[in-house]
Amino acid sequence: MGARKYFGTDGVRGKVGELPITPDWMMRLGHAAGEVLARDRRGATEHAAVLIGKDTRISGYLLESALQAGLAAAGVDVLLAGPMPTPGVAYLTRALRLSAGIVISASHNPFDDNGIKFFGADGRKLADAVEHEIEARIEEPMTCMPSARLGKARRVNDAAGRYIEFCKSTFPNDLDLRGLKIVVDCANGAAYHVAGPVLHELGADVVEVANEPDGLNINAGCGATKPAHLRQHVLANNADVGIALDGDGDRLIMVDSEGRVYDGDQLLYLIARNRQRDGRFAGGVAGTLMTNYGMEQALERRGIPFARAKVGDRYVLELLFERGWTLGGENSGHIVCLDKHTTGDGIISALQVLTALRTAGETLSQACAELRLFPQILVNVPMRRGFDFRQHQAVSSLLAETEATLKGRGRVLLRPSGTEPVLRVMVEGEAEDEVSGLAQRLAGAIERAAAE
């Protein structure tokens, strides 16, 4: 099976107006997806049905209409959920017994990017083989069903309410959030109308920020990738804790009452620690190549197995299913609790953290006190298409030299991004000054090689 042409580690993504994020290509994608995902329903008397949800980008209207047209031409009915977090689409696809779910979102990217993610009928992201099949079908001529077999469309008017109730159901019945003041930063994204109500209905005093999307302000100086915004509001409101989501609601970053920021590694460790204490933990924890080495060491001290997957929550999920485990995630804030949901969910992950804090009577700082993260420096080096750093002797030599310098004390990782035209250079070790210097030196060598 060759490399995918359009699909990256998290669906299809790019700049709006440039291939593949154009109206005509999106219509072809909708048609191809309809052909592939609904194939097992071809003999049924009723139409196959697909749910479409989106984040708050202005381009969502355009892409939604194009996908809808392609799906209808393939004879597939469309249910429109409107703005809905990515994990909300996964849940509704499964709950409504649909053939597939489609999310129109570019996650944490700026508003002028957009993308498409797919979920199967089981609420899980599509396997690579299915994405290959969809790509192959896009290259074939687009056809149209006879008028009597065209797909129809309707809106799911109670989509947000259904998802709110689902999120609340993952929080213990014998606990509540009364007495907690929580700031929630919705990144002006898809969770703007659901995150606050979930926390409020569980008893918290909720301060909602970045929850007024206008189509252009998604992720703009706010959300999980800009935690300084959340920190500012937590301190200004004397809140107990802060929760930041990204544009499509599947990432989580948190802030404590003192303004300290907690990333996905720390929050994942906190959840694992709580479950082990309660005797509810089985198996191990799945991380990625980017998971902090300090996290791995802390889990080892507790006797909790740990394994690394390739970067991307889809690969974390694959590793979890392969090992039969239920808990995994990334330091970027994607946290997967398979005993609660089929995919990563920022709101549900926050509820798992809050469950741990309420159960133990601890603050974020107290719960993470025994976890010491290593300094980890990440440098993004812009890359031209087709550049392969592995073919440059100067880069290979410096990489080997850097690895020898950190042997037994840290790690080096060079990884092409699956969502952006950059090469991610990560250096991790015990001393921040040392790893920063090594990372900058390596990034500079790669940048020079790419310019040749």
Residues labelled as active-site residues: 107
Tokens of 450: 């790419």
Contacts of 447 (CB under 8 A, 6+ apart): 381, 382
Find out whether the peptide bond into 20 is cis, omega within 30 degrees of 0: yes
Tokens of 395: 């880069």
What is the Cα–Cα distance from 234 to 263, expressed in whole angstroms?
A: 16
CA-CA distances (angstroms) from residue 54 to 18, 80, 379, 389, 452? 19, 9, 30, 36, 41
Q: How far from each other are the two terminal CA atoms of the chain, in whole angstroms?
A: 31
Q: Classify residue 181 by burial, with Cβ atoms within 10 Å: 0-12, 13-18, 19+.
A: middle
Task: Assess contact for 250 and 334: CB atoms under 8 A.
Answer: yes
CA-CA distances (angstroms) from residue 247 to 65, 185, 210, 220, 407? 21, 10, 10, 10, 38
Tokens of 427: 């250096």
